[in-house]
Chains A and B, each alone.
Chain A
Amino acid sequence: MSSELNQTVVRVSNVKRIYQMGSVEVHALRGIDLSIARGEFVSIMGPSGCGKSTLMHIIGCLDRPSFGHVHLDEVDIDELDDNSLAEIRNKKVGFVFQTFNLLPKLNAVENVELPLIYAGKGFDQRREKAAELLTIVGLKERMDHKPSELSGGQSQRVAIARALANNPSIILADEPTGNLDSKSGEEIIHLFKELNKKGITLIIVTHDEEIASHSQRIIRLKDGLIVADEPVK
């Protein structure tokens, strides 16, 4: 286990991301270097527009850097085409969003099944796995509820179960408690900590110091650069 713990899951080397907004170039990331080891629980913090969401999208293979390299599980994602990136997002990355991003017409178990569908799993296998994950996040009794019938906290639990569906290498959470009341937010953080204890690598983007204090390491961004990267005391 210990050797695995020290393994690097994410390595970001001199990553720049430049958007073209009309005639203006926006430098969202100006040269980011960081690496995250397996089993870490990292917070990325910074004011709005500092590039933290962009960084998360790039680590999660939703976006590509304009310059530099990103290695996920020692694979350079620059060399992959869009379909291979989709496969990595499916198998190695689990996203948790501020607005949950569940599909409103599907019930909880069907939402959790989605990544398993795209992984090509058969119906019985994915239904079983989805039920198991919903049990882990404490929603065993709510499996056939639609998102509109669930509270914010419950919706976010469904989203977390969905993120875990294909046993990903990392979970990326973008302001996961941003739309929740403080009690539900605490429960979600508690769930994250439990998952991290089971060995899941966790990256949370937040601007809430309280949330970040639960992690092991805080990376602070400002204007597209890392201004601090230190362990939590």
Chain B
Amino acid sequence: MINLVDPLKIASNSIVANRTRSFLTMLGVIIGVAAVITLVSMGEGAKSYILSQVGSWGVGSNSITVQPGQENSHTIELNLTYEDAQALRQKVGNLQYLMTEFIGRGRVNYGQKEYKPGYTLGVSADYPYAYKQKAIEGRFFSTAEDAGRKRVTVIGKTVARNIFGEFSPIGENIKINGTGFKVIGLLEEKGSLLTFDMDDMVLIPSTLSELVLRTNKIWEMFITVYDEKQVPEAIKEIKNILTTRHRKEDFHIHTQQGIIDIVNNILNAMTGIVSAIAAISLLVGGIGIMNIMLVAVTERTREIGIRKAIGAKQRDIFLQFVAESILITMSGAVIGIIIGTLAATGIMFALKLQAVIAWGAVYLACLVAFLVGTFFGVYPAMRAARLDPVEALRFEV
């Protein structure tokens, strides 16, 4: 059993004795580790924020979005119709919800008050289930009401606050683009997704879109299936049905997983770049450490001679210097982790977001620091261990 306590104690004493130099030597490692921890923690925070937003807005991985126009085309031709939606409703197996969404400009009037909501949408009765956004007051309209073109509306909190203030909007009659509607529900608060206020919204039955919003073209269809495993099959069916009806593939399909994949890809690319920079920083830091350790071996030649004269074996001297090198890099890593975590938390706090401590990166930083310390410490330590004791004792600084 090799005694590691004493080499570590000797090494830490020597690091403390040369505080300034030790700190400057650590700097490369500190900067590298701090940069990685900061950016990865921010990235993880951003990712969990985006995913929670996406997740709370849409549903989980069992959802499919169908949008008109070809993917990446600059002009969008709105060519999905109510009839297309009905066809999918009838023919797609495992279909749980299908929510059609028509979008238009709205103007809401209530007595003397006028308000222009951010979004006025014609939606089907599946909306609260598909988007997991219920009415917290009143109720949502039913499929029968949608099919029967009933003039009922459900509004978001921002709209309600602007028109009704603190009073309940339920049962009130408003005009949307001049058409009279009865408010039957108040939507649960969603907050904002990125910069969009998701509560600044008025929902009307999809069948009234043509009358009120002057559009009969679907902006988006939001489909869910019962299980995420059924998603690929459902996508195939949707493509077949719509391509048959349109005689071409003039629409595109997104999945929740696709959005998550994009977020992950961006963040992974960012992490990769940061890691590459950090690797260079650690390499340069490591070379700096080796350099300083070589200086330390020369400076302490006499100490090495004395230690050998009183019985230190090559192994003892070797361990002492490798321990010193590893302690320097590990201390650098710990300081870097603390700085990185504080920096990430600070920056994310300023952005009103939450940093997520990237434990994977923390462990990896410690491991890499240990390896850098070992790798760059071995050569100087070997030089120290192999010094001839008589010559080392004769050495004058």
Stretch among A31-39, A111-119, A131-139, A211-219 lining the B interface: A111-119
Whether A16 is near chain B, meaning CB under 8 Å from some CB there, is no
Collect the chain B residues with CB atoms within 8 Å of residue A63's CB.
Answer: 389-390
Cα distance A60–B314 in the bound complex, in angstroms: 17
The 0/1 profile, CB within 8 Å of B marked 1, for residues 70-91 of chain A is 0000000000001100110111
B307, B315, B389: which contacts A83 (Cβ < 8 A)? B315
Collect the chain B residues with CB atoms within 8 Å of residue A82's CB.
Answer: 313-314
Collect the chain A residues with CB atoms within 8 Å of residue B335's CB.
Answer: none
Cα distance A97–B392 in the bound complex, in angstroms: 14
Shortest distance in angstroms between A130's beta carbon and chain B's nearest beta carbon? 13
Shortest distance in angstroms between A4's beta carbon and chain B's nearest beta carbon? 24
Is B311 touching A86 in the complex (CB atoms < 8 A)?
Answer: yes
Q: Is the interface of B mostly helix, strand, loop or mixed?
A: helix
Given contacts A57-B390, A62-B389, contact A103 B311 (CB under 8 A): no
Collect the chain B residues with CB atoms within 8 Å of residue A117's CB.
Answer: 6
Within 8 A of A (CB), among B189-244: none
Shortest distance in angstroms between B34's beta carbon and chain A's nearest beta carbon? 30
Collect the chain A residues with CB atoms within 8 Å of residue B310's CB.
Answer: 89-90, 95, 114-115, 118, 162, 165
Whether B306 is near chain A, meaning CB under 8 Å from some CB there, is yes
Shortest distance in angstroms between B341's beta carbon and chain A's nearest beta carbon? 34
Is B311 touching A101 in the complex (CB atoms < 8 A)?
Answer: no
B14, B306, B314, B315: which contacts A101 (Cβ < 8 A)? B306
Whether B308 is near chain A, meaning CB under 8 Å from some CB there, is yes
B6, B13, B308: which contacts A105 (Cβ < 8 A)? B13
Whether B312 is near chain A, meaning CB under 8 Å from some CB there, is yes
The 0/1 profile, CB within 8 Å of B marked 1, for residues 134-167 of chain A is 0000000000000000000000000000100110
Collect the chain B residues with CB atoms within 8 Å of residue A162's CB.
Answer: 310
Whether B250 is near chain A, meaning CB under 8 Å from some CB there, is no
The 0/1 profile, CB within 8 Å of B marked 1, for residues 203-222 of chain A is 00000000000000000000
Whether A22 is near chain B, meaning CB under 8 Å from some CB there, is no
Whether B188 is near chain A, meaning CB under 8 Å from some CB there, is no
Size class of the B contact interface (CB-based, 8 Å): 20 to 34
A91, A97, A106: which contacts B311 (Cβ < 8 A)? A91
Within 8 A of A (CB), among B169-195: none
Given contacts A57-B390, A118-B316, contact A87 B311 (CB under 8 A): yes
Collect the chain B residues with CB atoms within 8 Å of residue A165's CB.
Answer: 310
Cα distance A10–B309 in the bound complex, in angstroms: 18
Whether B303 is near chain A, meaning CB under 8 Å from some CB there, is yes
Size class of the A contact interface (CB-based, 8 Å): 20 to 34
Within 8 A of A (CB), among B309-360: 309-316
Is A89 touching B314 in the complex (CB atoms < 8 A)?
Answer: no
Cα distance A42–B356 in the bound complex, in angstroms: 73
Given contacts A62-B389, A63-B390, A101-B393, contact A89 B14 (CB under 8 A): no
Cα distance A143–B377 in the bound complex, in angstroms: 34
Cα distance A57–B391 in the bound complex, in angstroms: 11
Collect the chain A residues with CB atoms within 8 Å of residue B305's CB.
Answer: 101
Within 8 A of A (CB), among B1-59: 3, 6, 13-14, 17
Whether B302 is near chain A, meaning CB under 8 Å from some CB there, is yes
Cα distance A114–B309 in the bound complex, in angstroms: 11
Cα distance A115–B306 in the bound complex, in angstroms: 10
Collect the chain B residues with CB atoms within 8 Å of residue A87's CB.
Answer: 311, 313
Collect the chain B residues with CB atoms within 8 Å of residue A60's CB.
Answer: 309
Given contacts A57-B390, A117-B6, A118-B316, contact A105 B17 (CB under 8 A): yes
* Between-chain CB contacts (< 8 Å), 16 pairs: A62-B390, A62-B393, A82-B313, A82-B314, A86-B308, A87-B313, A89-B308, A89-B309, A90-B312, A97-B393, A101-B302, A101-B306, A106-B13, A114-B307, A118-B307, A119-B311
Residues of A within 8 A of B (CB): 57, 60, 62-63, 82-83, 86-87, 89-91, 95, 97, 101-103, 105-106, 114-115, 117-120, 162, 165-166
Residues of B within 8 A of A (CB): 3, 6, 13-14, 17, 302-303, 305-316, 389-390, 393
